[in-house]
Copies of this chain bind each other. A is one copy, B any other.
Amino acid sequence: MPAIEELITEFGRLPGIGRKTAQRLTYYLLKNSPAEARRLAGALVRVAEEVRTCGRCANLSDRDPCEYCADPRRSTEQLCVVEEASDIAAIEKSGNYRGLYHVLGGRLSPLDGIGPEQLNVSPLIERLRAGVREVIVATNPSVEGEATATYLHRLISPLEGVRITRLARGLPVGGDLEYADGVTIAEAFAGRRDM
């Protein structure tokens, strides 16, 4: 396969990138900068070689244990459970949370054949037995995320001394009441707080 066609094909395999976009990206790199193509190639190889799964929390990182598990300033009493490693980046950007994480590696989804045994759950229970005071369930506000949260609650609630919380539902900041869906508005009413 000619080099140009091969790169178009490889770009086109990425999610959300169709053939037209793949062509655009390929010709952009060809026209503007072979150096940029090499830098992107280098970053890809580095990720393939260096990134591994943290043995404690299953976060993806250059290090094992990852930067959060290895950080002595973070509280070991709080554990935030997320579906994917990418969710950690979003939470860290908010800049408030100072506890540790646990990555499930997905969510319950019977239609896709993903049950509890496909998720990183047993190590979670092990960790909870080692002095964690609060589990913050931060699965996505989707049907599967809710089902996963319910499953985790049932699993964790027998453990004594562990508080189980989940992230608040409500109107997104900067959002518009007019365009919010009914379920979100209902959740915002149910979770209303005194001013």
Contacts and interface: CB of A to CB of B under 8 A. Distances in A.
Interface in A30-70: 30-31, 34-51, 60-62, 67
A51 B89 contact: no
A85 interface: yes
For chain A, what secondary structure do more than half of its interface residues adopt (helix, strand, loop), or is it mixed? helix
Contacts of A42: 41
Interface stretch (A8-16, A142-150, A170-178): A8-16
Contacts of A14: 25, 28-29, 40
A30 B47 contact: yes
A45 B38 CA distance: 6
B43 A7 contact: yes
Contact of A47 (B37, B43, B86): B37
Given A16-B24, A23-B89, A34-B47, 20 more contacts: A2-B62, A3-B47, A3-B49, A3-B50, A3-B62, A4-B61, A10-B43, A13-B40, A14-B25, A14-B28, A14-B40, A15-B28, A16-B21, A30-B47, A30-B85, A34-B48, A38-B44, A41-B44, A41-B45, A41-B48
